[in-house]
Amino acid sequence: MSVRTHLIPIAASGDSNAAVRVLTQVLRGAATIDLGPAFTADPTAVAKDPDAALGRALDMVEAAGEEVISHTTLPAALQPLTLELGAKLAATLGAGVVLVQDWEDAAALEVATTVCRAHGAEVVATFDGRSLRLAELPDLAAPNGLGVADILRDLVAGSRPVVPAERDDLLLGLLIGLASGQFPLPASVLVDGEPRGSLAEMWRSLLPQVPLRRRGEVTAPQPTKQQLVTVLDRHHEKAVTPVRFQRGLLAEARAASSHIVLPEGVEPRILRAADQLLQDGAVRLTLLGDPDEVARLAAAEGVDIDGAEVVDPLTHPWRDRFADEYAELRAKKGVTREQAFERMADVSYFGTMMVRDGLADGMVSGAIHTTAHTIRPAFEVIRTRPGVSVVSSAFFMCLADRVLVFGDCAVNPNPTPAQLADIAAASAETARSFGINPRVALLSYSTGTSGAGPDVEAVTEATRLLREAAPDLACDGPLQFDAAVDAKVARSKAPDSPVAGQANVLIFPDLNAGNIGYKAVQRTAGALAIGPVLQGLNKPVNDLSRGALVEDIVNTVLITAIQAGAAR
């Protein structure tokens, strides 16, 4: 995306239009976009599929340039979704959120901030109806239990400490401390209530540069454009959110212009996915199956697959060609020409031979076949890339606010430390090729030396081998799952780790843990699991879960198309 400086006013309580006017004054030259058309045409459709509306909004924003202020007034039916939609849009763009709220409405501000953080959005400023304030300079509340020393210790230049009006001792102590010149000066001191007249007069006389204001009546100076841009740049690393990840898949697949074969052409889910892929112009497709049966099923599903080629392995001339080639390839295994000819009636073998011979760039199967049925032909005839010791798999786990890569959850039951290191390196490369800057955690029931045993030692050795093979890769292990992904836990369990708390590539120690782990996250966290993506083959062949949804099939085809484009 080309958007660099971006702000989205979200109304926690108050008038977001006033915030837009002030932001336009501060960010002179920034484009202002009303995203209303992306959300208001059909509120019911937006509520059912907010990601589609976010996609339309992103199209509008991306076309606008580098500095953008987006805003929208949602219809009443969508008001419950206002915060969530705005936060998702901000997280996807890597944009800064400006929360619009009344000074006295602290509860609304806290709720709005919590929602934004839950979706990976960063609140960079607040607007109270009159003034814009950078969120990095918070009010420093002073409840009755705090003393002058506590307030002075926590002072930040430009902040606004809050003092109860009845605490004359705090106000007098603050006045003496600030007038001494030994502490940073706040922008103002906010008083909850009416300060005693004589004390207010003394304050104005001795410290005129720090106004004493009644809270709720404050008009702070607007930040400069440079101050605002500095704060935005500090928070600008865009999270790879599910919406942006999936949009990126479609764009990259279109650019790759790959030809994908789908062996299960008589499966309704495959036909619906093919319809969507063809409508999107994402790939060129070949479906395997009897053309009459495929056409009948497509009509029954109400889908249009006219843009796809349909090939029947039983009758197509390629069957003889493939049988000759397969018999030669597997002669040392005792495969005869007759056996090879029979095997080419199997759609998985036929489709794999298409990929091997360059008649298709990649293959996706598994909606009605087992993983072994899908990938065994690839092991036999496509084989591994030079230097690859083990074929492995990775899942893209699309959570609400980020995309994680899990490996290996589908292929290797008990990898050795050397294989585990190779799986980690391959998974990191998969992440990088799809726009995710890899930070790799090799998982265990132990963080560092907190536990012991052969399983921990294996992960420790795998980490050593990985660092040796890829010294520039951010990686660590052994790490427990919570230490790998939760910053608070990481500070306690692994404070010196280069990836703990921010890992996005998670390597499980064996297939048992990996398969359980990805399915647990998928089913309990509502994550979209894309994969398994096979790593290490000469040409891309990818497997589907037999419970795959149409969306899963579409995403896997897009990934396969991108892999094929990268391999050419």
Q: Is 5 within 8 Å of 118 (Cβ atoms)?
A: no
b/e burial code for range 456-492 (CB count within 10 A of at least 16 → b): bebbbbbbebbeeebeebbbbbbbbbebbbbeebbee
Our CA angle for 226, 111, 76, nearest 5°, is 95
Q: What is the pLDDT along the chain (568 residues), one digit of tens a residue?
A: 233 446 666 655 556 677 777 787 777 777 787 777 877 777 788 778 887 888 888 788 777 766 667 666 666 666 667 778 778 878 777 777 887 765 445 566 677 778 887 777 778 887 776 677 776 554 444 444 567 787 787 777 767 777 877 778 888 888 888 888 888 888 778 777 777 778 888 888 888 888 877 755 544 566 777 777 776 766 555 556 777 788 888 989 999 999 999 999 999 999 999 999 999 999 999 999 999 999 999 999 999 999 999 999 999 999 999 999 999 999 999 999 999 999 999 999 999 999 999 999 999 999 999 888 888 999 999 988 887 888 999 999 988 778 899 999 988 999 999 999 999 999 999 999 888 899 999 999 999 877 788 999 999 999 999 999 999 999 998 999 999 999 889 988 999 999 999 999 999 999 999 999 999 998 888 788 888 899 989 999 999 888 888 988 999 999 999 999 887 7
Residue 398: count other Cβ atoms within 10 Å of its Cβ.
Answer: 22
- Integer Cα distance of 330 and 316 in angstroms: 22
- The 10s digit of each residue's pLDDT in 444-499 is 999 987 778 899 999 999 999 999 999 999 999 899 999 999 988 998 899 999 99
Distance of CA 459 to CAs 20, 414, 422, 431, Å?
Answer: 52, 12, 12, 21
Q: Six-digit token pair at 336?
A: 């005869």
What is the per-residue pLDDT across 334-362, written as a single tens digit (0 to 9) for each?
999 999 999 999 999 999 999 999 999 99
Backbone angles phi, psi at 262, to 5 degrees: -115, 100
State if pTM tops 0.85: no
What is the distance between the alpha carbons of residues 96 and 119, in angstroms, rounded to a whole number? 13
Short-list 265, 278, 292, CA closest to 369 = 265
The full DSSP string for 314-364 is: TT-THHHHHHHHHHHHTGGGT--HHHHHHHTTSHHHHHHHHHHTTSSSEEE
CA angle 270, 275, 277 (to 5 degrees): 90
**How far is it, in rounded angstroms, from Cα 412 to Cα 472?**
26
